[in-house]
Structure 1
């Protein structure tokens, strides 16, 4: 996996102070994408054990409430186990919340074993492709009105989508 950027302290994505990872690579190619460069799977730097350890160190900071995973497309990171391993470590070592933004719909993620495995560590999923004709800058945590902010544990428990 390649990544484009890490924000140690991020207050612009998700609630509170969070540590954010922008992964590289996306197959959605949404019109109006604000991270067009990140669609290239080779963009940015190679993810390494050293970078992962540093990221976990950032997350363990007492000022950090949780983690944001954006891109690119996090759910396209299934060619290797790098993102899966990171998500698992975050839960095992910090117990902090994980928010993940994906152009894939929740229902479609459930149909893919590798994507579902990553989703099992996620607390909140912002799903759906960005649609420029539904763009709304007043929405919280999402860019277009078709996107949903989903509570994953409650959705799994209730066997249906529970939006926040």
Structure 2
């Protein structure tokens, strides 16, 4: 599979992770969080089916302006296999990768026996913003996350230490 179902693409953003970055919004999400900021993107058919190479070229066109790429959505881990391949190519460009997910770090790492593709994607990510959006915990003052239950996780350190290590922006 060389295609991603994407809901949108931002060439540059300052609100979807640290520094100026490109953002890939994937389609499809089963979390159905009440008050979801990207509700239309929950539909698996929303947006366009795009070749990985096309997405990669668009990211390359933004270098050296952008310093990283963010995967958002929708739910990136729903397209883990294809995003993992894209992430591997992004790594070669020396860009950092952030990813927003409704799954928790623990759900991703505990379910690797059922879905090793999740771990392959997780291993490519620098910073993971995890947890479902909770409308009752929404706080517009929070940096890089929508609700206070969500965590900003340093993935490499967390995998090394085998415990969640928070990233402080």
> Could you state the TM-score of these two structures normalised by the residue count of structure 1?
0.93
Show the counterpart of 2:18.
15
CA shift at 1:56, angstroms?
Answer: 3.6
Q: 1:96 to 1:42 in 2, by over 3 A?
A: same
- Asked whether the equivalents of residues 126 and 150 of structure 1 are also in contact (C-alpha less than 8 Å), the reply is yes
| Whole-angstrom distance in 2 between the partners of 1:125 and 1:99 | 6
CA shift at 1:75, angstroms?
Answer: 0.8
| Whole-angstrom distance in 2 between the partners of 1:159 and 1:46 | 36
Give the 5 Å matches for 1:49-128: 49-58=52-61, 61-78=63-80, 81-91=81-91, 93-110=92-109, 111-112=111-112, 113-128=116-131
> Could you state the TM-score of these two structures normalised by the residue count of structure 2?
0.90
- RMSD of aligned residue pairs (Cα, Å): 1.3
1:111-162 CA distances to partner (integer Å, 9 max, x unpaired)? 2311111000000000000000111111111000000000001101111100
| Whole-angstrom distance in 1 between the partners of 2:52 and 2:132 | 31
Among 156, 160, 164, the residue aligned to 1:161: 164
Among 32, 44, 50, the residue aligned to 2:35: 32
| Whole-angstrom distance in 1 between the partners of 2:118 and 2:58 | 21
| Whole-angstrom distance in 2 between the partners of 1:44 and 1:153 | 31
Moved over 4 A (4+): none
- Asked whether the equivalents of residues 47 and 82 of structure 1 are also in contact (C-alpha less than 8 Å), the reply is no
Show the counterpart of 1:132.
135
1:14-66 CA distances to partner (integer Å, 9 max, x unpaired)? 1111011000000100000011110011100102144233234135x111111
The answer for unaligned runs of 5 or more in structure 2 is none
